[in-house]
Structure 1
Amino acid sequence: MKSYDDDDISHVRFVNVQEIKEEILRYKPGSFLEEAGGLQRSDYDIPKTTTLLLIGPRGSGKSSLVNKISRFLEHDEFASERAQVSYNLSGDGTHFLHEYMIPKGSTSFSVFDTRSLSEDSSENFKLLRNWMTKGVQHGRMVMRNSDSPTVKTIMKNKARHTLHSSSKKRMVNFVIFVVDGVSVLKAMTDEDSTQYTKTVSKAFNYPYLSFKDDKPVVVITHGDELAPADRVLVRIHLGELLGISPVTQIFDIPDNNDVPTDTAIVKMLRHSLEHADRNLPLKKDSPVTMIVTIALIVVIVVLLLLKLTNKGVAGRQSHIHRDWAKIRHIW
């Protein structure tokens, strides 16, 4: 509650926001790498662009979050919206993957806006696994088996104007899970509305979204439509539901232009970029990777030799003649 209504430390918080904001604007992929375990920066496969993937149910505010991040880091509150926002659930929503370089014109990191999750977990898992293992590509059409023939026809007609085949495919480095605070509060108070939080929980805990022990960060949107006490309850509920800290891993980013909102944006971005760097893969030809590969090869060869040796011994034993009648007294 203190973070929502305390004005006494607003100046200190503003100074911290500016410092972290400048740090993010100076960010380059690998900036937060830690040389632990005897590994050096040269051992890691550092991408040209760090890729953050936005995931969330329909109406959660993913596109609005892109616009808010972009405006805040580009010092332009009057800039036009970069991401198309659907202001009602009857709209088309996002059907194509969109990459937004943050800030505009930079190559340091990007945010990918994606098609919303459905209530069918199996369809969600199929999409998420594909994005996390094969990468994401700007302009790529996202179609589900459950889409109606009309929707599929409309999407294919729109796809004629995209150039996804020539865009660069990027591997996802970290995930930002976007959730509508109003829908979460409704699910907390109305048993008939719990499908929303069930969808969120199942998708969030899908193993492919985590990097080792690092789970995605969560952004709560539309908090400006809730009372401060309800916003706190939503954060606590999501923390318990998803098994993460509501203080350090859940960020309340409403449609406001104030210091607390700016603070949440920079902290969320710094957390995401820091953990993206922390979990960068090793180069395939790095010394550590080569040692592990050689060790595996040696183990496989030894196992094969042992197997062949045992077969040879068994084969020789099978050709030994035994006169069981003469040695029956041994029985």
Structure 2
Amino acid sequence: MILTDKIGRTVNYLRLSVTDRCNLRCMYCVTKDFKFIPHPEILRYEEMLRLVDLAASMNISKLRLTGGEPFARRGFMGFISSVMSSHPELDLRITTNGTLIEPLVPELKKIGVSRLNISLDTLDRKTFAEVTGRDHLNDVLAAISACLSAGIRIKINAVAMKGINDKELGSFIDFAREHPIDIRFIEFMPMGDDTKSDSRFWSADDILEQGRQLTNLIPVKRTAENRGPARMYTIENGKGRLGLISPVSSHFCSTCNRLRITSDGKLRTCLFSDRTYRLRNILRNPKLGDDTLRRVIAAATRDKPLGYHLLEQRSGSEGVCVTQMSAIGG
């Protein structure tokens, strides 16, 4: 079965959140009134593996495991190993804040993890503590170094925030010049109830203009390997690259190929939409089998919206959806 929606987009990418728990409290991810999802409502690993099996049978070729912080959930390494053993054909990626993984790097390498995305919004220790609520920058930098030494490819995702990290573009470019990594700035998205998105918004075009004042940035031609939402640029005399992701100023909805499943088993077809399809009850109902899950997933995909329409409908600086990022899985 191939998943397609009513405007002809084919879905082949699933983001699966394994937990909403996190050891950081990033300002754009966790709102002031957040509450963790009760543990009995979180999917068991066996249920997640069942969903991965289904996804693979429905033409999903890329799987990203997210959180919260996925490595904060007990047993996560075993889950990774199970997924890779069951589905070696899947392009498996993991998104992490990097604070917990340095001692796990040898095991990650051994079980076959070849790529990690690490969320890192600043290279300044004081700013890191202000953004995340924790003083763990050195842990993240040590994890990046360990991964590179082990041959694990790294992408750094930085949320672009005016007044927070807009003075650090030069430092990030220097970091990418010195290390073989992709540093990708993602426009601040108006998620949740108290985002203050307008005052923090730093557009991809402004980042590019500022970056070109610092160094020669050469556009990377899009290929089958480089077909994601990021516009990539090589850095003159650099080992790494700079990327820009513009979900707000220059949307890529027409080519969106992804679905999201939250840690409590809710299917979301668009990051900007609060509409969900509850899979957990189906998974836990012995009278309902995989055929029911397939029908629900296929029907949800057919109605996958265009996120920029939802952005256009929001008023003022309110969030485009009510759900906070930590509960969605990014």
Question: Normalization by structure 2: what TM-score?
Answer: 0.29
Q: Which has the higher strand share?
A: 2
**Whose helix proportion is higher, 1 or 2?**
1
Computing the radius of gyration from Cα coordinates, the structure with the larger value is 1
Normalising by the residue count of structure 1, what TM-score does the alignment of the two structures yield? 0.29
